[in-house]
């Protein structure tokens, strides 16, 4: 837990790569709001223990799920008394995501002895997907929702579809904090599952419009508005490059190869994930959708050795 001021904390999960996601905590008086849970139940128990340490005796009455990816919500079941809030698209997406048992099969000891199987074991094999009951929002909304935590206002802004269909950012005005979910990756290449990328660029503008001093990404270290601007520049490059590569007839996995990444972003982690983003960008440009496992196999092939 990293205190941001005015009863607000960021829970950071280094190194911020696949599955290692950040969360947020807002406390007022004897009630609290949690932004996202963790990828598995043991990690979520660690999160809740850290919350209890900084806010002893405080009940988490609300959980905001920023989007449907399991690394931000598969611990929801450990807060059975809390109201879980998310966008309607998030709730729908959680039912259609890869489920815990499926991901365990893809990344566990029995995963195929293929480049994709090796990739999945390497990046997901340390998580424990046993016994998870996917727990969707109990309250959904479209567009905008204001919540009250004690005497404090929390603003939920639906900015998807972008990273996923139902992305939400969480703005705490009196603390100058935005919890961005996976609208923001810092020091790592993002993943665009759905797009369009223009919506994602606009989502960065929505973060800037808040004027928040502290911005907590879904993955990676804390940042500020300057960090948001750098990330926005990356998305602009992706949008421009995808159009050029598609027009030139390059396959999406060639367009997304790590050696295509320009110098300002070359040091970011997981450059092979650009392949996923290019597949989504090509779909927006008119290419037929590709099977997820086929795209992930291309990602595994593109990982720098």
87-117 pLDDT, tens per residue?
Answer: 999 999 999 999 999 999 999 998 889 999 9
Taking phi over 0 as left and psi of -120 to 50 as alpha, with beta for the rest, 122 belongs to: alpha
pLDDT band at 132 (very low <50, low <70, confident <90, very high): very high
Structural domain boundaries in the chain: 2-232
DSSP β-ladder status, 214-216 and 177-179: parallel
pLDDT at site 293: 95
Residues 43-66: b if buried by 16+ CB within 10 A, e if exposed: bbeebbeebeebbeebebbbbbbb
pLDDT band at 281 (very low <50, low <70, confident <90, very high): very high
DSSP class of 77: G
The secondary structure of 58-76 as a DSSP string is -EEEEEE--SS-GGGTTTG
pLDDT at site 305: 84
* Class of domain 2-232 (CATH, top level): alpha beta
How far apart CA 24 and CA 9 sit, in angstroms, is 6
pLDDT tens, residue by residue, 29-83: 899 999 999 999 999 999 999 999 999 999 999 999 999 999 999 999 999 999 9
Q: What are phi and psi of 107, to 5 degrees?
A: -120, -5
How far apart CA 178 and CA 305 sit, in angstroms, is 36
pLDDT at site 5: 87
Through-space distance between the first and last CA atoms of the chain, rounded to whole angstroms? 34
Give me 58's structure tokens: 């405080």
Q: What is the mean pLDDT of residues 1-10?
A: 95
CB atoms near residue 122 (< 10 Å): 13
The answer for residues whose C-beta is within 8 angstroms of residue 81's C-beta and 6 or more apart is: 59, 61
pLDDT tens, residue by residue, 137-169: 999 999 999 999 999 999 999 999 999 999 999
> Considering the entire predicted model, what is its pTM?
0.96
pLDDT tens, residue by residue, 231-277: 999 999 999 999 999 999 999 999 999 999 999 999 999 999 999 99
């Amino acid at each position: 837990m990293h205190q941001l001021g005015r009863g607000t904390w960021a829970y950071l999960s280094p190194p911020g790569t696949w599955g290692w996601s950040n969360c947020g905590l807002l406390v007022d008086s004897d009630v609290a709001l949690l932004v996202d849970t963790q990828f598995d139940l043991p990690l979520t128990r660690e999160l809740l223990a850290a919350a209890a340490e900084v806010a002893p005796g405080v009940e988490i009455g609300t959980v905001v799920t920023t989007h449907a990816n399991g690394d931000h919500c598969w611990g929801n079941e450990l807060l059975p008394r809390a109201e879980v809030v998310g966008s309607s698209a998030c709730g729908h997406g959680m039912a259609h995501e890869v489920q815990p048992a499926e991901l365990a099969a893809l990344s566990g000891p029995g995963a195929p002895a293929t480049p994709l199987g090796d990739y999945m074991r390497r990046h997901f094999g340390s998580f424990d997907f046993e016994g998870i009951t996917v727990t969707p929002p109990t309250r959904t909304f479209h567009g905008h929702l204001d919540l009250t935590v004690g005497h404090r206002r929390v603003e939920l802004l639906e900015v998807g579809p972008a990273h996923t269909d139902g992305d939400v950012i969480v703005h705490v005005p009196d603390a100058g904090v935005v919890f961005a979910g996976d609208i923001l990756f810092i020091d790592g290449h993002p993943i665009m599952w759905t797009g369009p990328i223009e919506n994602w660029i606009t989502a960065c503008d929505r973060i800037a419009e808040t004027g928040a001093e502290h911005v907590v990404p879904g993955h990676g270290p804390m940042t500020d508005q300057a960090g948001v601007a750098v990330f926005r520049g990356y998305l602009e490059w992706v949008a421009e490059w995808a159009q050029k590569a598609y027009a030139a007839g390059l396959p999406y996995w060639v367009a997304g190869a790590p050696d295509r990444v320009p110098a300002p972003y070359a040091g970011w982690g997981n450059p092979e994930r650009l392949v996923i983003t290019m597949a989504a960008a090509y779909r927006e440009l008119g290419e037929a959708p590709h099977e997820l496992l086929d795209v992930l196999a291309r990602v595994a092939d593109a990982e720098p050795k």
